Chain A
Amino acid sequence: MSRLTRWLAPTTTARAHCDLPCGVYDPEQARIEAESCHKINEKYAANEDATFRTRAIAIKEGRADLVKHHLDVLWHDYFKPEHLAAVPNLHELFWNANKQVSKVKASTDTADSKQLLDMIDEIDAAWKATGGNEKTRVAGRPS
């Protein structure tokens, strides 16, 4: 850089701000939180202590919120319009899974939390069908 260019160069930067996604997406994040909900439901059924049950419900609601967050990030940031060719029911999958998370928040039934796991597995299949495993994980998903 010449002396003139250095003299003219601004010393302040201004951002034309964009999101900076890390580019790592995996339905496994949502599944682990959903598994927590399922395990908590099992523990809830096996323990009648009122304090334990209150804590279990509070923790489950927090985990369920994380499931929604991870599903939304996948839906909005990873999946693109061109993926609809490979997964025509993509929006329905996410719509139903997010509705199921709401149900799991309000329910202590293991059947509800198990159904959520199955729905996330369907999303996992969609992620794999669109090359998510190869494209978004560092050296693929660890087995």
Chain B
Amino acid sequence: MEPLRARLRGPWRVAVVQASMEPTIGPDDWLLVDPTTDRWPRRGTVVAFREPDSGTLSIKRVGATPGDRVPFRDGYLELADDEAWLVSDATTEMTEAAGLGAPIDSRSYGPVPVSLLVGRVWFRYAPLRRLGPIRRRPPAPRG
């Protein structure tokens, strides 16, 4: 994670594209992000981060934290002290219903270095009918 001074630059607000966080977060939702949080990564929080290969700003839920063991392919993977496991809320059926392919997350690109996390997603402020906090909850139980 970058020093606090660098993190203050944000992002503080993001607009969502694509659908891998359905049903929690949908395309076109506007979200508030807290880039100053230092009690993380906590399992179950939704985070904004840079994807490892592309650097694209993305959102996912923390499925496992540094040092955890996660099911991966035919066995288990033990996360290093500086790695998080980030997963989607949506199933492939949900994203296909939205006209997209399978969700892309740590099950595709592996663990994400904690240094690439840029903020905790904490509130949805649009659309107004879905206004409210983005709560921390256990990630969907998929391998």
Contacts and interface: CB of A to CB of B under 8 A. Distances in A.
Contact of B101 (A11, A12, A77): A77
B8 interface: no
B132 interface: no
B20 interface: yes
Given A12-B13, A13-B16, A18 B30 contact: no
B112 interface: no
Contact of A16 (B10, B13, B20): B20
A17 B57 contact: no
Nearest to B25: A16
Number of chain B interface residues as a range: 35 or more
A142 interface: no
A19 B104 contact: yes
A17 B20 contact: yes
Contacts of A9: 15, 30
B104 A18 contact: yes
Contacts of B15: 9-10, 12-14
B59 A14 contact: yes
Which DSSP category, helix, strand, loop or mixed, fits chain A's interface? loop
Interface of B: 10-11, 13-22, 25, 27, 30-31, 48, 51, 56-60, 88, 90, 95, 98, 100-105, 125-126
19 contacts: A10-B11, A10-B30, A11-B13, A12-B11, A13-B14, A13-B16, A14-B31, A15-B16, A15-B58, A16-B18, A16-B27, A16-B60, A17-B51, A17-B58, A17-B103, A18-B20, A18-B100, A19-B95, A19-B103
Interface of A: 8-21, 77
